[in-house]
Structures are given as C-alpha cells and as structure tokens.
Amino acid sequence: MSFNFKAWKCLDLVIMLCLLLCFMISCSDAVKSVDEQNDRLSTDLVKNNKSLNNPNSNSDQPIIEVVDDEFDFGEIKEGENVIHEYKIKNTGTGDLLISSAKGSCGCTVPEWPKEPIKAGEEAKIKVTFNSRGKPGAQNKRVTLMTNAIPNVKILTIKGNVIPKNK
C-alpha cells in the first residue's frame, strides 16, 4: 500500500485555511460586540475640541477644580464608615461632565453628579470608606474621568484604622 504525501499536505492546507477562517469570524464577532457596547456611550462625554487637531480652537472648555482633593480622616475603629464630600467647581466656560468615578478598591465608594455641571457652578462628590477588614494605615483613591483637560482627576481619602480587639 502506497502512502500519498501530497494528498496529506493538501488536506493539512485545507484544515489550516478552515481554522484561519474560523478565527477571523470569531474576531469579527468580538469587534462587533465591542462596537455594540461603544454605541451605548454618549460621544458628548469624550468630545474635547482642544484635543483635536485644532489647538487654537476657541470652543467652550470645562476646567475641574477641587477645593481639597485629599482628606485625612485621622483614626477610626475598624468597622466604622467615613463619609466625606469633596467640593468641585467648574471654573471653565463649558459644561463639565463626569463620566465615571471609581474607587481604588471596593471599600471606597463614590457618588457623583450625573448631570452636567455648568460653568461657574459647584457640585459635591460623596465618598464613603468602609473600614471593615482594613486595619492599619489606609490611602485610597477615587479616579474621576471627565471631559476637562486633563480628563483624569484623583481624589484621596486616607487615615489610620485601629484594629478590633480579638
């Protein structure tokens, strides 16, 4: 019985082409799902005329100003919650939009205004720190994503958590 290597090479090539085609189809499906997710985001949150290829633009631009971006809560007992409100002001000329606010861990939870902050107006960002299971020195961050330049603003909450007596 004779073994035909050319037939096997051809079969290998067909199998590789089928695998490549399957890979390409799965990649295009992944891109579609990402695009579907992006379609839900408002482009108003990312429009920033000064970041376009028009540095001389005279468009209205928000500026985020935080009165005090670092809060030291001192010492608390483990299990206690600390709540602090950061005062922010839009000192620019355009509406300030905060698209997200994320704590550096699950123990730090921010609440932020979802509506635009008009030029000259102030708003508050409420941050709750839960010290349960967090003994010792703490230094947590809240990252704000905005439409200002720069678009990231960091708020810090820190202090010392006295451990429970076991």
For 4-17, what is the mean pLDDT?
67
Q: Which residues contact 83 (CB under 8 A, 6 or more apart)?
A: 126, 127, 128, 129
Residues 29 and 73 in one domain: no
Q: How many CB atoms lie within 10 A of CB 101?
A: 21
Domain extent for 12? 5-40
Residues 27 and 79 in one domain: no
**What pLDDT band is residue 151 in, cutting at 50, 70 and 90?**
very high
pLDDT at 125 over 80: yes
Is the full-model pTM beyond 0.85? no
CB-based contact 129:73 (threshold 8 Å): yes
Q: What is the pLDDT of residue 84?
A: 98
Determine the residue type at 152.
V
**What pLDDT band is residue 2 in, cutting at 50, 70 and 90?**
low
Q: What is the CATH classification number for the domain harbouring 93?
A: 2.60.40.10
Q: How many CB atoms lie within 10 A of CB 14?
A: 10
Q: What is the pLDDT of residue 6?
A: 61
Q: Bridge partners of 88? A: 66, 123
Residues 153 and 77 in one domain: yes
114 within some domain: yes
For 2-25, what is the mean pLDDT?
65
Range of lowest pLDDT (4-8, 9-13, 106-110, 152-156): 4-8
32 within some domain: yes
- Domain tally for the chain? 2
55 within some domain: no
Residues 93 and 134 in one domain: yes
Say if strands 70-77 and 152-162 run parallel, antiparallel, or are unpaired. parallel
28 within some domain: yes
